[in-house]
Structure formats: structure tokens, C-alpha cells
Amino acid sequence: MSSGMDAGAVRRPPEQADPVEQLLREWPELGALGVDWLRRWAPRAEKQIVGIAKVLRRYPWMAELVGQGPVSLVNPYSVEAYVARDGSEACISLFGWAYCSADGSNVRRLELEFKGLEPHEGGVREIYRPKRRSAFARAKEYVRIL
């Protein structure tokens, strides 16, 4: 009378899926940050990392830019993203500098400064502008999206 199981077999719970692998399956853009970085930060900052992933998906050139730098030095709470009010370009901020472009073909490095808060859809949003004004950036203001 065999029940189909060996008497000495131990039932093991199903293996848990690796949370980093799950993140990478859902958000392949996060590959730019590296698996080691994700393993270090995902347990503590998953919501922030998903926010970064959403921005990288919307602006793919940012993932390429991030993948070129020493991402291991960045913590997920120091990554910020901005979009110009007129929608003409977006920026990602790492190490205090914002790297801005319309499509990734001409990336400019700007230093943005906080201008103020403004009401927006029942809440508030932060507005920034370039610290050093240039003819190109004179009228630009950026809204923080991450």
C-alpha cells in the first residue's frame, strides 16, 4: 500500500521567487542599476525603486545614462526626476546634477534650484529652475516627478 510518497521524503515548501528577479521581470529598465545594487536596496526601498523604474520606462534615455555611471554610489532616495513645465524635456538627478534632454540625443548637465511649491490636483508640487541661467534655460521651469 503505497501512498505515492516515500516514507523518508520530507515535504518542502515551494521555493520563494527571488524578489530582485521579480522586479527585473516586471521592470527590465532596472537592469541599468545592476543586480547587486537592487539586492542591496530592494528590501528597504522597493516603493522608491518602482518609482525610479516608472520614470526610466517613460524616458528610456535615462536608463542608458544611468547605466553609464557609478550607480553603486547612489541610494534610491537621492535619485530625483523632473519634467519641464512645457513637456519639452525631462531630467534625472544623480549626485546633485540634473541631466536633461528631450530624447537623450543632447544631454545637458544643469544644477537645479528649488523655486517653490504650487497647488496641484489637491496637493502641492515642487518647482525648480536652473541655478545658472542661460539663453536656452532662461524661461524653463521644471516640476519634480520623483
Residue 72 confidence (pLDDT): 73
Domain that includes residue 129, residue range: 79-146
Domain shared by 120 and 139, yes or no: yes
Domain shared by 92 and 145, yes or no: yes
**pLDDT per position in the chain (146 positions), as tens?**
555 555 666 777 666 778 899 999 999 999 999 999 999 999 999 999 999 999 999 999 999 988 887 777 788 999 999 999 999 999 999 877 899 999 999 999 999 999 999 998 899 999 999 987 665 555 689 999 99
Q: Which of 70, 105, 132 is the last residue of a domain?
A: 70
Residue 11 confidence (pLDDT): 74
* 100, 111 Cβ separation under 8 angstroms: no
Domain shared by 104 and 53, yes or no: no
How far out from the chain centre does Cα 41 lie? 12
Q: How far is CA 18 from CA 40, 57, 144, in A?
A: 13, 22, 32
Q: How many structural domains comprise the chain?
A: 2
